[in-house]
Structure 1
Amino acid sequence: MAIVAVGTEIVQCARISQMIQQHGEQFLERVFTPAEIDHCAQLPDATSHFSRRWAAKQAVYKALHCHRKGVRWTEIEILTRPQSGPFVSLTGSAQERAIDAGVDTIHLSLGGCRTQAIAYVILWQDDNFDTSVGDDD
């Protein structure tokens, strides 16, 4: 396995809270998928969960060098498996960027406290490269 890229982001939870308060559903639907919105909205302290997902999306965005590449926020989806925790699922232009970069696997770590959220991603290329980034058997 070889590391293709690394991305990290720290977010002030108050900033995301302010965006949600000011722009409501318009902000949420522009940035998060319906599955992400449903997941975060049902949890206590939804703002911290939205903040962690925002940080994760930013970290992936940076690692894939997506700036001005036409990648929508909803093409980078942060989902959760009960048995193994959060993971990244890519679609559309984001998935194309990952494939072009030779990314086979994305490892994600989320953390934070009451005031901040942090995400760290490592993009990997396996020795036997395959293009199944984002596929969830």
Structure 2
Amino acid sequence: MGKIAAPLGIGVDIEEIKRFRGKKLPRDERFLKTIFTPRELTYCFGKSDPGSHLAARFAAKEAAWKALTAAKKLNSHLAPFLRDVEILNETNGVPRMTFFSPKLRMRSASVSLAHSRTYAIAIVCVS
């Protein structure tokens, strides 16, 4: 049986969906592009309720930042980090997290997203 890598850090975040529900392209493009990658924006705005998907991805980015800073693998403020991580879904719907920063590319992360009408939550385990 293969070894399972122990997580280096775990992070969780919850966001109010209403913070993102009114965001529109192109009106809020400048704000949205500071947080989300073009592929994330395409995915979220392709949904009937983009706000819940934006909020879930923002929660995942904050959770990843918390996991990495807790593991002392990241010494960065949140704002520059947001665009260094991307959350997209596999064809089966499972979310996948990718790190773009050269310092973090070798890291592996598991992410779980959920949302209700009011809140979006994410948990991230980084190894």
- TM-score, structure 1 as length reference: 0.76
Shift of the alpha carbon at 1:74? 1.1
Alignment correspondent of 1:96:
103
Shift of the alpha carbon at 1:57? 0.5
Stretches of structure 1 lacking an aligned partner (at least 5 in a row): 125-137
Task: Tell me if 1:75 matches 2:75.
Answer: no
Shift of the alpha carbon at 1:29? 0.8
Aligned residues: 116
**Which 4+ runs in 1 deviate beyond 4 A?**
none
Residue number among 14, 31, 37 corresponding to 1:33 in the alignment: 37
The answer to whether the 8 Å contact 1:77/1:88 transfers is yes
Shift of the alpha carbon at 1:106? 0.7
The answer to whether the 8 Å contact 1:13/1:47 transfers is yes
Shift of the alpha carbon at 1:107? 0.7
The answer to whether the 8 Å contact 1:8/1:120 transfers is yes
- Aligned equivalents of 1:70 and 1:86: distance in 2? 22
Go from structure 1 to structure 2 and tell me whether the alpha carbon gap of 1:112 and 1:69 turns closer, same or farther (over 3 Å shift): closer
Residue number among 19, 34, 37 corresponding to 1:15 in the alignment: 19
Shift of the alpha carbon at 1:97? 4.4
Task: Tell me if 1:109 matches 2:107.
Answer: no
Go from structure 1 to structure 2 and tell me whether the alpha carbon gap of 1:69 and 1:118 turns closer, same or farther (over 3 Å shift): closer
Residue 15 of structure 2 aligns to a residue whose secondary structure is strand
The answer to whether the 8 Å contact 2:34/2:82 transfers is yes
Shift of the alpha carbon at 1:70? 7.4
The answer to whether the 8 Å contact 2:8/2:126 transfers is yes
- TM-score, structure 2 as length reference: 0.81
The answer to whether the 8 Å contact 1:52/1:111 transfers is yes
Residue 57 of structure 1 aligns to a residue whose secondary structure is helix
Task: Tell me if 1:121 matches 2:127.
Answer: no
Structure 1 segment 34-49 matched on structure 2, within 5 A: 34-49=38-53
Q: Deviations over 1:17-40 (max 9, x none)?
A: 35x26x711111110000000000
Shift of the alpha carbon at 1:108? 0.5
